[in-house]
Structure 1
Amino acid sequence: MPLLFVYGTLCFAEVAHALLGRRPCSQPAAVAGWRAAALPGRVYPGLVPDAVTTAVVAGRVLSDLTLRERTVLDVFEGDEYEVRRLALTDGRSASAYAWRDVASALDETWDAEAFAAAHLSAFIWRCCRS
């Protein structure tokens, strides 16, 4: 399976574990020219192109997903995302879930620490019930 770059809720090992029943191998990674945008009325982000040439999104690369696990993640992400092939800042390439409705993304960047403090526990619970 190709590498999967994650930048939002899937960066939290607890979320991946709730969805997949295990914690996949992951390592820090980043993509340039994109941003993890806050989305209206949602606690999770959307990856959107960024016109700022210095924009970099930090995330993680999942490297040992099975085909079944990728299918689980595809269903979890849903139709609002499309799988895109992106170049990582270290020269490798990876698939990523990019937000389709770029115009709906807010100007602010998604805040992972605020998400963890306010929503992570409930989000994990909802993932376990899926």
Structure 2
Amino acid sequence: MLIGLIGRVPERQPATTLGWRAAALDGRVYPGLVSAPGSEAPGLLLTGMSEREWRVLDTFEDDRYDLRRIDLTCGSAAWAYVWPDGEVHAEDWDAAGFQERHLQGYAARCARIASELAARAGY
């Protein structure tokens, strides 16, 4: 997905946050990070990204997401796109199922819209 959108996979490292979970969303194959006291959400922290790359990702993310600074279990904080409300399933998002059933098509879609996103982001 990142290769299709920004042309590369940035450096990344495992990261975890408390009080959040990756929830399955109605009618969407991708997750929403939602507030969930007592839960723990593992993920990847992207680093070394340019301003252009951030703008493309900001343009790509659904308008429903809020960009918020969240605390990580390692003691630092990071920016994350969180799903503020509604259309959330009780179950967690199935990353393995997404990879098996949807990743290839989703990555192809990202590659198809990359130039449009870059133009909308001002590049």
Q: Which one of the candidate residues 53, 57, 60 is aligned to 2:41?
A: 57
SS of residue paired to 1:80: coil
The secondary structure found in structure 1 opposite 2:89 is coil
Corresponding residue of 1:117: 100
% identical equivalent positions: 46
Distance 2:14 2:95 in 1: 15
Residue of structure 2 in register with 1:9 after alignment: none
| Residue 78 (structure 1) shift | 2.6
C-alpha separation between the residues in 2 aligned to 1:122 and 1:109? 21
Partner of 1:128: 111
Q: Which has the higher strand share?
A: 2
> Which residue, out of 86, 98, 101, partners 2:70?
86
Specify which of 13, 16, 32 is matched with residue 27 of structure 1: 13
Deviation at 1:104, TM superposition (A): 1.8
Structure 2 segments unaligned to the other structure (5+ residues): 114-123
Q: Which amino acid aligns with 2:56?
A: V
RMSD between superposed Cα atoms in Å: 0.8
> 1:63-104: per-residue Cα shift (whole Å, max 9, x none)?
11111111100111131101000011101110000012x232
> Counterpart of 1:127 in structure 2: which amino acid?
C
2:3 is the counterpart of 1:17: yes
Question: 2:74 and 2:10 mapped to 1: Cα distance?
Answer: 20
Q: Deviations over 1:17-57 (max 9, x none)?
A: 11110110001001110010000110000010003x2x111
Q: Distance in 2 between matches of 1:38 and 1:93?
A: 24
Residue type matched to 2:110 in 1? Answer: C
Q: Which runs of 5+ in 1 are unaligned?
A: 1-14
TM superposition score normalised by structure 1: 0.84
User: How many pairs does the alignment contain?
Assistant: 113
